[in-house]
Structure 1
Amino acid sequence: MNNVDVIVIGLGSMGGAAVNALAQRGHSVLGIERFWPSHDRGSAHGGTRIIRQSYFEGLEYVPLLRRAYTGWRQLEEQSERSLMTLTGGIYIGDPQEETFAGALASAQHWGLPHDVLSSEEITERFPAMRPAPHAKGLFEQNAGFVDPEATTAANIQVATMHGAELHFGETVLSWTATKGGGVEVVTTRGRYGADRLVVAPGAWSERLLGEVGAPVASERQVVYWFAPDTSAGKPSLADYSVGTQPVFIERTDGNEQVFGFPIVPGQAPGVKIGFFHDYTPTDPDAVNREISEFEIAQMQSRTLDLFPHLTGRLLAGSTCLYPSSPDDHFMLGLHPEHSQVTVATGFGGHGFKFVPVVGDIVADLSTRGRTDLPIGLFSLEREALRR
C-alpha cells in the first residue's frame, strides 16, 4: 500500500477543485469517485448555475466570491474552456425581504456596483418580467452563470495535467485515521494510504462522515425549462434570452423563493426555473428522478407570478441533490476528532459559485492545517449543527 500526500473522496464540484488545487501545489494526490466524470447523480449538473456577488445570504461571503471570480477566470485559461457567462442578475422582493434587502446590504457594504429598480423599471429594462407592483429589485451587472459539467471536467483535466491520479467508478467503503497520523481508505477496488484526507461527499455526507456529516440533509431538487408564449403583442424570444434577460431570484408576498436563468444558446430553448428549496429529504441512492404532473403544475403556477407569458409547454426537467446544512451555511474545516482530515460539505443550492475558492481553502486546510481566507461562518462546531 503506497502512500500519497492526500486522498480526496468525491470528485464532484468541490472535490474536483480540491484535487486540482492540491496537484497544482505539487502534492501527490489520489482522487476517488464512485460515479463517472461530470456525472448527473449529485449536485454538479444541469447546464447552468448562478454566480453573483451581491449576496443576500450574508456579508461574509463576498470576499470569498471576489476570490472565486478570479479563480473562475484562471480555470478558464488553464483548461481552455468557457465556463462563466455574465448576463447580469436581478434579485426581486418586498423592500424588507431578504432577497432584495440582503442583496442591497451586501452591495452597499462592499461597494459593489448596482442599481435599485422599481417594479416598473424592472419591466422596462427586462420586458418578459412583471414583478408585483410594490416589489423592488437589485440589479448587478457582475452576475451570470457558470457551466457545472464543464467546470467539473475542467478541474479534472487540469488536475490530471499536474499529476493527480483519479479513479472513477470506485466506491469508498470506509476510511480510518491511523495511529501514525495518516489515513487509510478502503474501496471496492483496494486499500490506500495517505498522510491526509479530504472528504467532499455531497449528499452522501452522513455515510462517509458519520455524526460529523449527519446534519447534512440530502434534499431532492427539481429544475424546469418552460417555453414562453411569443405570439403577437407579447415579449419576444429574445426578451427571454441571454443578451436581454438576466439571471434572477425572486420572493414577494411570502411566496416560495424561485431562481432562474435566461434561455441559453445550445440548451433547451426555454427559461430554466426552480424553487430555491424543495424541502424533500431523500436517500441519495434512491432518488425519485420522475417529475410528477403536480410538481410541474405547481412550478408553472409560481412562474406566472413573475413571467405572465411563460405559458408554453415544459421542454425539459431535471432532478439533482442539494446537500444542505441546517442553517444553509457551508460546512468547511478540519474534522473535530482527526486533524489530518478536511471536511467540505453542506454546500446546498448556493455553493457552486464558490468552487475555485473552496478548492484553495481545502488545499490550505489539508496541507497547512489553517487558511487565511475567512471561513469562520462555516465552522463544523457551530451551534446550528449541534442542534
Structure 2
Amino acid sequence: MTKHDSANHAEYDVIVVGVGGMGSAATHYLASRGVDVLGLERYDIPHTMGSSHGVTRIIRKAYHEHPDYVPLLERAYELWRDLERQHDQQLLYSHGSLALGRPDSETVTGAKEACQTHSLEYEGLDAAEVNERFPGFDLPDDFVGVYQSEGGLLWSEQCIVAHVNATHREGGTIHARERVTDWEATDELVRVVTDRDTYTAEKLVVAAGAWAPTMLPELADVLQPQRQVLGWFQPTTPRNFQPESFPVYIVERDEDDLYYGFPQFHVPGVKVGKHYHFGEDVDPDEMAREPRNKDEAALREWVAQGLSSANGPSMALSTCLYTNTPDKEFIIDHHPTYDNVVVACGFSGHGFKFSSVVGEILADLAVEGETDHPIDRFACDRF
C-alpha cells in the first residue's frame, strides 16, 4: 500500500478514531502490515479522560465471564510478550490471579469452568489457605478462592505508549489533541472531519471508548458510559502487598457486588476498584471528574472487610469510564451499514487485557474483511 513522505497529507488507507488501549493496538497492527494508517486522538497520549489510565489493569486466564474468552486471552498474552520485546520494557507482570467469593458465586464457579474447559492449571483454596498464603487478605470463613498462576497485571499507560511507538517505527501516523467532529462513508471511501483538518481513507476503525455512542449513533442505544472510581490506600504492612506476595484479584461479596484490586505497583498505595461502582450512567463530557467522599467510602467498605492491613491513608483517587453493553460483552464487528467501517466498543469494564489481540482483529477486519479469531459473540446484530 502507498506510503507517504509527509505526515500532513490528507489521504490514508485506514483512519483509526481513538488512540487508547484498542485504537493504539489497531494502529500498530495496521502499520506493521504496511498500511498507511492515521490514528486520531482528541486528548494527550496517554491521557486520563477515558478507560485506560490508572497505572495497571488486570489480565487473567481464569475468565469467569465465559470460557469462550480464553482463546483470545491466549493470543493476547503472546502479543503482549511480542510487544515487550519490541519496546524493550516489561509490560505484563504475572504473579497470579485470584477469583474470590462463596463457593457457589459466579466469579468462583465461572473461573473454575474456564480453567477446566481449557485445561488451565489452577488451585482451589479455602479462606484460611488464601489468608495464610497471601497475608494481605482477611477473607471471611465462608469464602473460597481459585488461584491461577498466569494471571497478573498490565502496565496500562505504558502499553499504549509501546503500541504508539511501534506504530511510529512502522511508518504510521498519530495525531493527538485533534478531535473528530464528524465522519461519513460511502462504499468506496470514508471522510473524517476534525477540529483541525479533513481526511479521507478507504477504511475507518472507530475505537472511541466512552465517546463511541456519539461517533456511532446507530449503536447508541446499546452503549452506556458509566462513571468508575479507583482508589489507592497505603497499607500498614507494605510487604504483604508487593507483587510477589499479593496477586491481582476479583472478589464477589454478593451477587452484583464485585471488587477488584492489585498489589502496589510504581505508585504509593494498594489499588482497589468496585466493579460498576454506583452504576452511575454519564455523559463523558459532562460527568463529575473529581472523586467524592462517598466514592472513597464505597471502596473502603471492601478494604475494611477483606484487606484490613491496607486500610490506611488515601494516596490517590481517580475517576475513569466503563462503556457497557446490555449483556456486558464486547462489540467488535463491521458497522451495521458500512462494510468499510469497523467498530470496537462496549468493552464493559473488562476489555483492556484484550487490547493487543483486539488490535490484531481490527487490522484483520479492516484489511481482509474477516478474521480467524473467534468473535461471533461480539456481533453488532445480537441486540
Q: Greater CA deviation, 43-52 or 245-254?
A: 245-254
Distance in 2 between residues matched to 1:254 and 1:106, nearest whole Å: 19
- Asked whether 1:362 is paired with 2:369, we answer no
Question: 1: distance between equivalents of 2:332 and 2:92?
Answer: 24
After superposition, where does 1:303-342 map in structure 2 within 5 Å? 303-342=303-342
Q: What's the counterpart of residue 233 of structure 1?
A: none
- 1:203 corresponds to 2:210: yes
CA separation in 2, counterparts of 1:355 and 1:320? 17
For this pair of structures, how many residues does the alignment match?
374
Contact 2:10-2:198 within 8 A present in 1 as well: no
Note the alpha carbon deviations across 1:91-121, whole angstroms, 9 max, x for none: 1011111111100000011011110001111
Q: Are residues 1:220 and 2:227 paired?
A: yes
Match for residue 5 of structure 2? none
Letter in 1 for 2:264: I
- Using the TM superposition, give the Cα deviation of residue 311 of structure 1 relative to its aligned residue in structure 2, in angstroms: 2.5
2:241 counterpart of 1:240:
yes
Deviation of 1:287 after TM superposition, in Å, equals: 2.5
| 1:260 counterpart letter in structure 2 | G
- Segments of 4+ in structure 1 off by > 6 A? none
Task: State whether residues 84 and 90 of structure 2, in contact with CA within 8 Å, keep that contact through their aligned partners in structure 1.
Answer: yes
SS at match of 1:309: helix
Q: CA 1:182 to 1:255, structure 2 compared with 1: closer, same or farther past 3 Å?
A: closer
The 3-state SS of whatever aligns with 1:252 is strand
**Matched residue type, 1:249:** I
CA displacement at 1:2 relative to structure 2:
4.5
Q: Unaligned stretches of 5+ in structure 1?
A: 230-235
Which AA in structure 2 matches 1:10? G
| Aligned: 1:188 with 2:189 | no
Q: How does 1:3-22 map to 2 (within 5 A)?
A: 3-22=11-30
Task: Please give the per-residue CA displacement for 1:33-62, whole angstroms capped at 9, x wherever unaligned.
Answer: 111111111011100000000100111100
Instruction: Give the conservation status (yes or no) of the 8 Å contact 1:132–1:252.
Output: no
Q: What is residue 101 of structure 1 aligned with on the other side? A: 109
**Aligned pairs for 1:1-387 within 5 A:** 2-178=10-186, 180-229=187-236, 236-254=237-255, 256-264=257-265, 266-268=266-268, 270-278=269-277, 279-383=279-383
The aligned amino acid for 2:337 is E
Output the CA distance in 2 between the equivalents of 1:348 and 1:38: 20
Measure the CA separation in 2 of the matches of 1:184 and 1:152: 26
Percent identical pairs in the alignment equals 39
Task: Please report how far the alpha carbon of residue 294 of structure 1 lies from its aligned counterpart in structure 2 after TM superposition.
Answer: 2.1
Conserved in 2, the CA contact under 8 Å of 1:117 and 1:136? yes
Which shifted more, 198-207 or 289-298? 289-298
In 2, Cα distance between the equivalents of 1:348 and 1:27? 30
Q: How far does the alpha carbon of each residue in 1:231-265 deviate from its partner, in whole angstroms, 9 at most, with x for none?
A: xxxxx32112211011111013447100000112x
CA distance in 2 between partners of 1:237 and 1:17 (Å)? 34
Is the 8 Å Cα contact of residues 62 and 148 (structure 2) preserved in structure 1? Answer: yes
Q: TM-score, normalised to structure 2's length? A: 0.95
Judged with a 3 Å threshold, the aligned counterparts in structure 2 of structure 1 residues 183 and 255 are, in CA distance, closer, same or farther, namely: closer
Alpha-carbon distance in 2 for matches of 1:87, 1:360: 26
